[in-house]
Amino acid sequence: MSTTVLVTGGAGFIGSCFVLDWLATVKTPVVVLDALTYAGNRENLASVEADANFRFVHGDITDAALLAKLVAEIQPRAIVHFAAETHVDRSILGPGAFIKTNVDGTFQLLEAARNYYGTLSTDEKKNFRFLHVSTDEVYGTLSPTDPAFTETTPYAPNSPYSASKAASDHLVRAYHHTYGLPTLTTNCSNNYGPRQFPEKLIPLMILNARAGKALPIYGDGLNVRDWLYVGDHCSGIRAVLERGQLGETYNIGGQQEMSNIALVRELCAILDELAPAAKPYADLVTYVKDRPGHDRRYAMDITKIQRELGWKPAETFASGLRKTVEWYLANPAWPHHSWQCAALDSPFCAVVDGEN
């Protein structure tokens, strides 16, 4: 078995951060498989294109023949599965793509992994891992006084997106218990950081604010999310991959709960300081009709990963948000013009929420 890691969805926001961090720290070969849909961007990986340990493959995780061929060729020691449709509003208007990618795609990847795993020697099997990256949204919603989600919180997904991710989580669990596939699952809270697709809350707020456009917030703006800096998420995934117990799930959260309106106001204050405009950016905030089935609060209990693996987030929300704003201000040409326009003109960006 080689030391290669196969990363699905590695041109997306979180996947590309993982790839960049891996090549900078672990420095073993990475093969990225990505379909380059609207949220995938090769530019996210531009800094490692010439790295001898990096290879990109354009393809879809629903393509069983491609998966079988690729896995047999590269003989990965691990598969890290990021590839997914992730935006709740998109799932409400078009759930079919979420079922195809998140459910069928994960099934096809598990089948390829299972068939490959069956060809390995006993020693090689001991080293192989299949890590599935999921979301806190599978657990449903919390009231303001409910305790945070733990790994044993019953699943209660409330959108087509979260239901499709819940289904994929269950498939991964089943392949461990039925076939003995050495799986690991991580459920993360809302990610933010550089290079995030601009239909998500923080990058869209920054881009709209700098353009003098409205900053629309769903409902009363008091929906609460637990915010996780993307670099911390990647370090958490590496910890699980290296030391996690097979068949187990680990919550990865930032321990930074904040309402959407409080987040936007804090972001506006940073922009007022770093890139002042004629009027305070918070004057651009507008409230719009809430979306259907909008979860009120997410919060993650990360006791298990702290206790078992010694991981905790390095960034506070204040430090992570400032880093993020500074990066966007320093990279005004990102994303490239056509991609940015497509995102900002999308109906999915008419209003925003803090989904991961």
Mean per-residue pLDDT over the chain, rounded: 92
Stretch 333-338: mean pLDDT: 59
Please say if the pLDDT value at position 127 is more than 90: yes
The candidate with the shortest Cα–Cα distance to 128, out of 32, 309, 4, 308, is 4
**Among the listed ranges 104-108, 171-175, 205-209, 334-338, which one has the minimum average pLDDT value?**
334-338
Integer Cα distance of 1 and 50 in angstroms = 24
Please say if the pLDDT value at position 44 is more than 80: yes
Q: Are 5 and 71 in contact (CB under 8 A)?
A: no
Active site residues: 136-137, 161
Determine what percent of the chain is predicted with pLDDT higher than 70.
Answer: 94
CA atoms within 13 A on the CB side of 203: 23
Task: Give the confidence band of 59 by pLDDT, cuts at 50, 70, 90.
Answer: very high
* Predicted pLDDT at 335: 64
Ramachandran region, residue 162 (left: φ > 0; alpha: ψ -120 to 50; beta: rest):
alpha
| Lookup result for tokens 């900053």 | 215
Tokens, residue 335: 């994303």
The candidate with the shortest Cα–Cα distance to 352, out of 304, 290, 301, is 290
| Lookup result for tokens 């795609």 | 105
Q: Are 235 and 311 in contact (CB under 8 A)?
A: yes
pLDDT in tens, 224-282: 999 999 999 999 999 999 999 999 999 999 999 999 999 999 999 999 999 999 999 99
pLDDT in tens, 167-221: 999 999 999 999 999 999 999 999 999 999 887 889 999 999 999 999 999 888 9
pLDDT in tens, 3-13: 999 999 999 99
Task: Give the confidence band of 337 by pLDDT, cuts at 50, 70, 90.
Answer: very low
Residues 24-30: contacts with CB within 8 Å, 24+ apart? Answer: 25/238, 26/238, 27/53, 28/3, 28/4, 28/53, 29/2, 29/3, 29/4, 29/5, 29/53, 29/54, 29/55, 30/4, 30/5, 30/6, 30/54, 30/55
| Lookup result for tokens 């290879």 | 55
Task: Give the confidence band of 351 by pLDDT, cuts at 50, 70, 90.
Answer: very low
Q: What pTM, to 2 d.p., does this model score? A: 0.92
* Predicted pLDDT at 336: 53
Please say if the pLDDT value at position 30 is more than 60: yes
Determine what percent of the chain is predicted with pLDDT higher than 90.
Answer: 82
Positive or negative: CA dihedral 17, 199, 149, 163: negative
One-letter amino acid of 28: T
Stretch 105-109: mean pLDDT: 98
* Predicted pLDDT at 257: 96
